[in-house]
Structure 1
Amino acid sequence: MEQSQPPDEQVVAVPADIRARVMPAVLDELAHWGVERFSVEALAERHRLDPAMIYRYWGNRQRLIVDAALADVEGLASATDTGSLRGDLLALARKVAERANSQVGRTFLRSLVMDGGGHHDEETRMMFWRARFSVVRGVVDRAQKRGELRDGVNTLAAVQIVLAPLNVRVLYSDAAVDDEYCQAVADMAWHAIARK
C-alpha cells in the first residue's frame, strides 16, 4: 500500500546530490511500470533508496513524478523566447523534439499514456500537463502582447497545434523527430494563429 506524507511534515528543497540519485530511479521505474503502477516503496526497494527521505523531499508520488517530468521546463521557457512568433514556434518545436528524441524523454512521454487495462492516474497526468502548459503558453502570450496573433486565437488550441504532432510522432514511432518536421509543424502553427 502506498504511503502518504504525514500531515505535519513540510516538503523541503531537494539537495542536488539527492536529486541526482532519485531522478534516474524515477525515470527507470516509470519506463518499466508507467504512471499507474509507479510506487515510491517499490522504487526505494529496487534502487536502494530510503522511502522516508523521498517523502520528506517530495511529499507524495504525484509530486515526485511531476518533478521528474518537468526537469527541463525552465530550459524550455528560456529557449522559446526569440522575439517573434515564428521564431518562438520553431524554437518550441525544436526544444520539444530534442527532449522527445532522448531515451529519457521518449520513455517518460510514453509512460504518461493511459494504460487501458488499469486505473488511470488522471490527476498526476493533469498536474504534469498543467505545469507544462503554463510554461509553453508563454509563446502565445508573448505573441499576443506583440500584436502578432490573429483575433480569437484559443491559447490551448494554439499550443496543441505544436505539441500534438510532435507527441503523436514520438508515441507511435521510434524514429527521431528531425528538424524538417519541426519546421513543418512550426510553419503550420504560424499560419494557423498569426495575424496576416
Structure 2
Amino acid sequence: MNDLKATRPGGRSARIQQSVHNTVRNLIETQGRESLNVPLIAQAAGVTPSTIYRRWGDLAQLLSDVALERMQPDAAPVSTGSLRGDLEVWIEGYIEEMTSDVGRTILRDILSSPKIENADACANYMRQQFDIMLERAAERGEEVPSSDALINHLFAPIVYRLLFASSPPNLAFARELIDEMMVTGKSCEPSNS
C-alpha cells in the first residue's frame, strides 16, 4: 500500500507548521517579540509545547524558520532588459526591505538558529534569484559573472553592512558594487585554496 506521507504532501504536519508560523507572526505584531516563549506560542496555535520542541527544538530555531519563510521570494526578479538593470532593481528592493527593523530582525533570526540549514536555504534563495537574472542576461547575449561572484562581491558586502556596520548599505553603495562586478566580477571565482 502507499505510504500516507507519499500521497499527502503537506497534510497535518504542514497545517501545524503554518498555524505555528502564523501564530508567531501574529504574536510578534500584537504583543511584541520580547514576550514570545514556547508555551505562549503553543497555546495560541492550539498545539502542545512538546509539538514545538519536537519539531523545532527551541524558540531560536522556530523564529529562524518563520524568518526563512519570509525570505522566500514571491516572484522572479523584475526583467529590465539588462543584467545591470535587473541587479539594480533587485538590490534596491532587497536593501529597502532589509534595512528596516523587521528586515534586520529577519536576518538575525535566520543566523541565530543553531542549525546552519536555514542560513544555507536563505543563501540558496538569493542564488536562485541571481541565476534567473544571469540566465536571462546570457540569453540576451550579455557577458555574465557566475552566481558565486554575485554572492561574494555583491550580496555578501551588503549583508555584512546590514548586520555589522554602523550605517546600513544604500543604493549608491550597491551601485558601486554592481559597477565593480560588471568590470571585474566576470572572472571572479572563489578560490579553493
Given that residues 26 and 68 in structure 1 are in contact (C-alpha distance below 8 angstroms), is that contact kept between their aligned partners in structure 2? Answer: no
Quick check: 1:69 aligned with 2:68?
A: yes
State how far apart, in whole Å, the 1-side matches of 2:109 and 2:122 are.
Answer: 12
Tell me the percent identity.
20
Aligned to 2:86: 88
Given that residues 82 and 137 in structure 2 are in contact (C-alpha distance below 8 angstroms), is that contact kept between their aligned partners in structure 1? Answer: yes
Which structure has the bigger radius of gyration? 2
Given that residues 73 and 125 in structure 2 are in contact (C-alpha distance below 8 angstroms), is that contact kept between their aligned partners in structure 1? Answer: no
State how far apart, in whole Å, the 2-side matches of 1:178 and 1:85 are.
Answer: 19
State how far apart, in whole Å, the 1-side matches of 2:110 and 2:161 are.
Answer: 15
- Structure 2, unaligned stretches of length 5 or more? 188-193
Quick check: 1:169 aligned with 2:161?
A: yes
Aligned to 1:45: 40
SS of alignment partner, residue 153 of structure 2: helix
The 5 A counterparts of 1:1-150 are 10-12=12-14, 20-23=22-25, 25=27, 42-45=37-40, 49-50=44-45, 52=47, 60-61=55-56, 65-75=64-74, 77-113=75-111, 120-150=114-144
Given that residues 161 and 169 in structure 2 are in contact (C-alpha distance below 8 angstroms), is that contact kept between their aligned partners in structure 1? Answer: yes
TM-score (norm 1): 0.64
Given that residues 66 and 127 in structure 1 are in contact (C-alpha distance below 8 angstroms), is that contact kept between their aligned partners in structure 2? Answer: no
Given that residues 149 and 194 in structure 1 are in contact (C-alpha distance below 8 angstroms), is that contact kept between their aligned partners in structure 2? Answer: yes
Distance change in 2, residues 1:67/1:134 (3 Å): farther
Superposed CA deviations along residues 42-61 of structure 1, whole A, max 9, x for unmatched, are 345268523628999xx943
Given that residues 143 and 186 in structure 2 are in contact (C-alpha distance below 8 angstroms), is that contact kept between their aligned partners in structure 1? Answer: yes
SS of alignment partner, residue 191 of structure 1: helix
Superposed CA deviations along residues 14-48 of structure 1, whole A, max 9, x for unmatched, are 8x997654325479xxx77xxxxxxxx93452685
Aligned to 1:4: none
User: Is the helix fraction higher in 1 or 2?
Assistant: 2
Quick check: 1:184 aligned with 2:173?
A: no
Distance change in 2, residues 1:80/1:111 (3 Å): same
Letter in 2 for 1:50: A
TM-score (norm 2): 0.64
SS of alignment partner, residue 112 of structure 1: helix
Kindly state the Cα deviation for residue 80 of structure 1 after the two structures are TM-superposed: 3.6
State how far apart, in whole Å, the 2-side matches of 1:170 and 1:136 are.
Answer: 19
Higher RCO (CA-CA < 8 Å; seq separation 6+): 1
